[in-house]
Amino acid sequence: MTVIDISPSVMQFLLAFIVVGPLLGAVAALLPAPPGLKGRNPDQAVLRHGVTVTGAVLIAAIVLAVGFDHDHPATMQATTDISWIPALDVRIHLGIDGISLPLLVLTALLTFLCALYSYFKPPAGPSPKAFVALVLVLESGTLATFAVLDLLLFFLAFEMVLIPMYFLINRWGGDQRQAAAWKFILYTLLGSVVMLLGLLLVGLKSGTFDMVALATDNGRGLTTSVQVIAVLAIGLGLAVKTPMWPLHSWLPDAHTAAPTVGSVLLAGVLLKMGTYGFVRILLPAAPDGMRTFAPYLAAFAVVGIVYGSLACLALARTGAKGDLKRLIAYSSVGHMGFVLLGIATMTPTGVNGALFANIAHGLITGLLFFLVGAVKDRYGTADLDTLAGATGAALYGRAPRLGALLAFAAVASLGLPGLAGFWGEMLTLFGAYSPAEGLSRPAFRTFMAIGAFGTLLTAAYMLIVVRRVCMGEHALPARTTPATTPAPSATPGPPQTPATTPTPAASPTPGTLQAPTTPGAPQAPPAPQLADVQPYEAAAWTPLVALTVLAGLWPAVLLGLTDPAVQKLLSGGKS
């Protein structure tokens, strides 16, 4: 069933435009604007160009989704297959199925929302021309990763996103941006070198780099030892990008230093590339190798779940000087742990849960980073102790709509039933309860129990964040002796007379938030009211809120796409 019947040639053109369009737009952004399009402000003109290009790509992705044959989501559609390097049998092979289509639409949506947000609030830094061009190159590389069906093209697209993200962090980031950018690119490049060796091993030993052919062969053309080596090499590169504990340490620094748009794209899109590679390449092409490493992958995943949650709890506690952006980054380590656990079960239930959690994480964490960026812009800091301090900083009182949105995103992130975050975690845990044949049930049920404990920790730190930031913290006044009562003298002598008479403090102005005071302490001025959600912010955040609710209330929209494709992938290309 298709909502609108679109011819295969138009579908091919749409997919090719989605991949190549942002790249052409990046080139155009660096060229001088035509006289009629310069407008009064050249910077605004190039930012408007970014909104236009990403909007066109989003419309093409929506039309592609509307024309997609939902009765056959396991079949590759909108395919293009052209020989590119005959000597290596490398082909420009594009196509989408029920696994890649949701990721394609999510990437196009998040990039458009970031461009729209940047148009009204440009990031502080160098010329917007370079910023827009880098965002568009990043979008092109990410979309290509989800659309290509050739191993070497996958690697090129996978690497294409590194340089734009490096410069976005390094040139438009905050404190410690240079160190964070270097850490990001060194980790990912080292992982990619090992991954390339694994991809070449699979392609040369099987005689093809075609991902569809490899999935259909289902590892029958590769010996078990080759599969084990390939999974180790490719999985290492994918695990860095995911990021899997203990290869995650670049992520908190990158998120903390990145601009708001960079954090949204990094969490909402780039992390999905690693888990997508596990599902698209390793599960179907090297099943024996994956079965060997599945228990270890699951163990690292649940350690990441608990570690990320404990790190967030440590950052959220009073006096820790924790950064709210850093806390959300560590929460991503835990959430992506659920995705890896679902993949490690090698069951349709677990893999469907992993793919659902991928999309849910992109929506919810993208929204969280937008909101944290807005809070930081208003307060000038993301330090939790400052945000929750006794200065009338509670968001509910100063910016109620912003506070309500932050609370909504937090409870969605902790997996509240009825919102998108719930289904991915639940299906992942169900998959771990009954893993694939050949995997240890006691071990995976232990992993399931640890993962379930991780959901409790997630709820704990998210509720602490809501309580501290949205409701505020006010210290109780310390007990003191009245100022008029003289303290007993240690030595005999005449009683001392106070030099000054205390004056009563002025009464607070009605309608202002007044912090509790301690007698004798300097009085802080009343905290001013903050700007609440602006129209451009509402335009950028509303789609994420709506989709989070839709995916939570109607999960069949997504599962109906992914389940047939996953069944075919795990069964060796048989529908």
- Measured at the CA of 420, the angle between CA 309 and CA 58, to 5 degrees, comes to 115
Asked whether 435 and 441 are in contact (CB, 8 A), the reply is yes
Mode of pairing for the β-strands spanning 77-85 and 90-96: antiparallel
How far apart CA 333 and CA 300 sit, in angstroms, is 11
Backbone angles phi, psi at 194, to 5 degrees: -65, -40
The number of helix segments (H) and strand segments (E) in the chain equals: 23, 2
What's 503-537 look like in SS3? CCCCCCCCCCECCCCCCCCCCCCCECCCCCCCHHH
The closest of 353, 246, 342 to 290, measured between CA atoms, is 342
Query: Which structure tokens are listed for 7?
Result: 């011819």
Alpha-carbon torsion 498, 499, 501, 505, what sign?
negative
Helix (H, G, I), strand (E, B) or coil at 485: coil
How far apart CA 396 and CA 402 sit, in angstroms, is 8
pTM: 0.86
Helix (H, G, I), strand (E, B) or coil at 340: helix
Cα–Cα distances in angstroms (integers) from residue 179 to residues 165, 170, 193, 262, 397, in the given order: 14, 8, 21, 16, 37
Q: What is the pLDDT of residue 293?
A: 92
Query: Which structure tokens are listed for 326?
Result: 């850093």
Query: Which structure tokens are listed for 502?
Result: 């205390």
Query: Which structure tokens are listed for 545?
Result: 């809120």
Q: Which residues pair with 93 in a beta bridge?
A: 81
Cα–Cα distances in angstroms (integers) from residue 214 to residues 34, 89, 370, in the given order: 47, 14, 39
Neighbours of 17 (CB within 10 A): 16
How far apart CA 44 and CA 51 sit, in angstroms, is 10
Asked whether 569 and 284 are in contact (CB, 8 A), the reply is yes
Token match 């990001």: residue?
Answer: 184
Torsional class of 572: left (φ above 0), alpha (ψ -120 to 50), beta (otherwise) = left
Please name the residue ranges forming H helices in 148-176.
151-160, 162-172
Q: First CA to last CA across the chain, in angstroms?
A: 17
Asked whether 26 and 136 are in contact (CB, 8 A), the reply is yes
Query: Which structure tokens are listed for 558?
Result: 């997504």
How far apart CA 416 and CA 423 sit, in angstroms, is 9
**Going residue by residue through the chain (575 aa), what tens digit of pLDDT does each one get?**
566 778 888 899 999 999 999 999 999 888 876 655 555 677 788 888 899 999 999 999 999 999 888 888 888 888 888 888 887 778 889 999 999 999 999 999 999 999 999 998 888 878 888 999 999 999 999 999 999 999 999 999 998 999 999 999 988 887 788 888 888 888 888 888 899 999 999 988 888 888 988 888 877 888 889 999 999 999 999 998 888 888 888 888 888 888 889 999 998 888 899 999 999 999 998 899 999 999 999 999 999 999 999 999 998 888 777 788 889 999 989 999 999 999 999 999 999 999 999 999 999 999 999 999 888 888 888 888 887 764 445 778 778 898 899 999 999 998 888 899 899 999 999 999 999 888 889 999 999 999 999 999 999 999 988 888 888 765 444 444 444 444 444 334 444 444 433 444 333 433 333 444 444 444 444 455 677 788 888 999 999 999 999 999 999 989 989 999 999 888 865 54
Neighbours of 471 (CB within 10 A): 15
